[in-house]
Homo-oligomer: A and B are copies of this chain.
Amino acid sequence: MALEPEQIVRLEEDRVVLLDQRRLPEVVVELECRSAAEVAAAIRDMAIRGAPAIGVAAAYGYALAARRGGDLEEAYRVLAESRPTAVNLTWALREMLDDPTPERARELHREEVERCRRMASHAAELLAPRTRALTHCNAGALATGGYGSAVGALRTAWERDLVEHVLVDETRPLLQGSRLTAWELEQIGVPHAVIADSAAASFMAAGEVDCVITGADRIAANGDTANKIGTYGLAVLAAHHRIPFCVVAPTSTVDLSTPTGSGIPIEERAAAEVSARSPARNPAFDVTPAALIGAIVTEDGVHRAPYTESLAGVVARA
């Protein structure tokens, strides 16, 4: 059974309740946030993660602050600054400004999941029968608040009998692939195998990968795409092996105000996530140049290069 949107994040009377993703799937526990600041902390500490999902959580956090008569400017600030790379935070908060109600936040959540279903359908049309896909990180229901972007596409494609197998990058350092994507694929029933991130190249060389499909944290106007660290390397490797590389993300992830990837802030997280005892560098995201991306699929359809043109009309209609 796939995860339902309200299992992932929801607004109750006086709190935002979310499935704590940090120790899934071993430990299935909910986290209760009783203020916008607590929602921001949950986002910062990655109890909830994934660009569309943290946008939804921020919307709920803002609605919670409004209902409690809190300082809405402060709520906006703390939620918007909880993580720097995904544009969905500020997008969702801006959407909430005129109508900071629970109903509006729930509508935004519902529409984000509906976008996933639509983009999944578009993306599935790109896949041939018996596709052996490779995906990175978790672009599943947990990352979007329901259904998923890249994993949603694989889910729809699986239901259309187009998917043979999915290789899942474990996705160090926090193992979102090994912990979350493998769990979601198991729930949906899709045959899969986890691999060390560094093994992707050899599976490509062995002809065991027909396409690489990932989500996105922010897409610049020219198509440059920030996503979980490791995505850029996969795109280079896919190009080297002539394997299609495809990004699936809702329009809430597209940031037309950022012309190119060089304008996307890249979060560097604590060294301790990588090593408990040695100096370490821990960029959480990287930027894949548009030239390496074969298609960007949103709920509007399949966008192709030149992305500056094909993405020009894209607006997230919440």
- A residues apposed to B, CB below 8 Å: 25-26, 136, 167-173, 178, 182-183, 186, 191-203, 205, 229-230, 232-234, 236-237, 240, 271, 274-275, 277-283, 286-287
Contact = CB atoms under 8 A, between A and B. Distances in A.
Contact of A195 (B168, B182, B274): B274
Given A170-B172, A170-B274, A233-B233, A283 B202 contact: yes
Given A170-B274, A202-B229, A202-B286, A281 B197 contact: no
Contact of A229 (B169, B173, B196, B237): B196
Candidate in A183, A196, A229, A233 with the most chain B CB atoms within 10 angstroms: A196
A170 B236 contact: no
Contacts of A195: 274, 280-282
Nearest to A208: B281
Contacts of A167: 281
A200 B275 contact: no
A198 B186 contact: no
A199 B277 contact: no
Contacts of A280: 193-195
A173 B192 contact: no
A199 B36 CA distance: 32
Contacts of A271: 193
Contacts of A283: 199, 202
A2 B196 CA distance: 30
B201 A286 contact: yes
Nearest to A292: B240
A191 to B, nearest CB: 8
Contact of A201 (B169, B186, B203, B236): B236
Contact of A278 (B173, B182, B230): B182
B196 A230 contact: yes
B278 A192 contact: yes
A274 B185 CA distance: 17
Nearest to A136: B198
A183 B200 CA distance: 27
Nearest to A280: B194
A274 B193 CA distance: 10
A168 B277 CA distance: 13
A230 B200 CA distance: 8
Contacts of A183: 278
Contacts of A172: 170, 172, 196-198
